[in-house]
C-alpha cells in the first residue's frame, strides 16, 4: 500500500502524519496543495481525518480541500475510527453523509459496524439516511444488531422500517447467549485455518461505554488478523421486541 504523494506535497503528508498542525499551516501558506493525493488516490484530508486530527482537518478545509475528493472518502476514514469531531467538521464543510466508497460502504455503515456510536450520532444529526443499506444490502439497524451495540440500535431505531426491525431482531437473537470469543474464533478459523486460529489472543474492554470482545490471531507474537464484536445482543433483542410489537404491519 503506497503512501508516496504524487503532486509534490510530501512534506504536507509528513506533517499530517506527525500531527504537526503548525507545520501544516506553514506549508499550506507556502502553496502546498490542500487536495494533494498519494499514489493510491488517498488525499491528505483523508489521512488527517482517519488519524483524528480535527485542527489539521479544519486547516485543510479552510485552504480549500474538498471533503468529497479522493478514492477513499475523508468522512468514511473519520467514521470508521470514530472521530466524532472530525465527522462533524467534514459534514459542516459539505461532505455528503450518504456518499459511498468503492465497495458501497457509507460512513454510517462503517461507523455502525465498528461500534462507533458517537460518530453514528453525528452522522445522523448531519443528515445521514438511517435506512440506507451498505454495499451488501444490509440495513444499518441490522449491522448494529449484529455488532452487539445497543446504543447504535437506539440511535437508528426511529428511522428504521418494520422489515429492518424484524431482520435486526432475528440477528440479535442469533447472537444472544453465545460465547462471543468462541464465535469469533470460529469465524477466523474458517478464514485462516485451524492451525492459525488455534491459540488466539482474546481481549475484553469497553468502547464508548459498551463491552467489546476482540479476538486476534498472532504470528511471531504480532497480530495479523482479528475480529471484534459487542456483547449487547440480549439487550438489543429486548429493545427490538418492544419496537416490533408497536410497529404497524403495513409500515
Tell me the domain boundaries of the chain. 1-128, 130-176+232-251, 179-231
> Using one digit for the tens of pLDDT, what is the confidence trace for 164-195?
999 999 999 999 999 999 999 999 999 999 99
DSSP class of 249: T
DSSP class of 37: B
DSSP class of 144: H
DSSP 58-125: HHHHHTT--TT-SSS-HHHHHHHTT-HHHHHHHHHTT--TT-B-TTS-BHHHHHHHTT-HHHHHHHHH
> Using one digit for the tens of pLDDT, what is the confidence trace for 2-19?
455 545 478 999 999 999
127 CB-near residues (< 8 Å, 6+ apart): 91, 97, 98
Q: What is the pLDDT of residue 65?
A: 97
CA 120, CA 35: separation in Å to the nearest integer? 26
Q: How confident is the model at residue 100 (pLDDT cuts 50, 70, 90)?
A: very high
Architecture of domain 1-128: Alpha Horseshoe (1.25)
CA 192, CA 197: separation in Å to the nearest integer? 7
pLDDT at 249 over 60: no
| Mean pLDDT, range 156-161, rounded to an integer | 95
Instruction: Decide which of 156 and 244 is more confident.
Output: 156
Q: What is the pLDDT of residue 245?
A: 84
DSSP count for the chain of H helices, then E strands: 13, 3
Residue 66, judged by CB atoms within 10 A of its CB (0-12, 13-18, 19+), counts as middle
| Mean pLDDT, range 118-133, rounded to an integer | 98
Q: How confident is the model at residue 70 (pLDDT cuts 50, 70, 90)?
A: confident
Average pLDDT of the chain is 93
Q: What is the pLDDT of residue 248?
A: 57
pTM: 0.91
Amino acid at each position: 500500500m503506497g503512501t508516496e504523494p504524487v503532486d509534490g506535497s510530501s512534506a504536507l503528508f509528513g506533517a499530517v502524519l506527525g500531527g504537526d498542525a503548525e507545520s501544516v499551516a506553514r506549508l499550506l501558506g507556502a502553496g502546498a496543495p490542500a487536495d494533494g493525493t498519494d499514489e493510491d488516490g488517498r488525499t491528505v484530508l483523508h489521512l488527517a481525518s482517519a488519524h483524528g486530527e480535527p485542527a489539521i482537518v479544519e486547516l485543510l478545509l479552510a485552504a480549500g480541500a474538498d471533503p468529497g475528493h479522493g478514492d477513499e472518502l475523508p468522512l468514511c476514514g473519520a467514521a470508521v475510527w470514530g472521530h466524532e469531531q472530525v465527522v462533524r467538521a467534514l459534514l459542516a464543510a459539505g461532505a455528503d453523509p450518504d456518499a459511498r466508497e468503492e465497495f458501497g460502504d457509507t460512513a454510517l455503515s462503517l461507523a455502525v459496524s465498528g461500534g462507533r456510536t458517537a460518530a453514528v450520532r453525528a452522522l445522523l444529526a448531519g443528515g445521514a439516511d438511517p435506512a440506507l443499506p451498505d454495499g451488501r444490502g444490509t440495513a444499518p439497524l441490522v449491522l448494529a444488531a449484529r455488532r452487539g451495540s445497543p446504543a447504535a440500535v437506539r440511535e437508528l431505531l426511529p428511522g428504521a422500517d418494520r422489515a429492518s426491525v424484524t431482520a435486526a431482531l432475528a440477528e440479535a437473537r442469533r447472537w444472544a447467549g453465545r460465547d462471543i470469543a468462541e464465535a469469533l474464533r470460529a469465524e477466523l478459523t474458517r478464514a485462516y485455518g485451524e492451525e492459525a486460529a488455534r491459540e488466539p489472543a482474546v481481549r475484553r474492554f469497553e468502547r464508548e461505554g459498551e463491552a467489546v470482545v476482540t479476538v486476534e490471531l498472532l504470528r511471531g507474537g504480532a497480530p495479523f488478523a482479528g475480529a471484534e464484536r459487542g456483547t449487547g445482543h440480549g439487550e438489543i433483542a429486548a429493545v427490538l421486541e418492544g419496537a416490533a410489537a408497536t410497529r404497524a404491519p403495513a409500515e
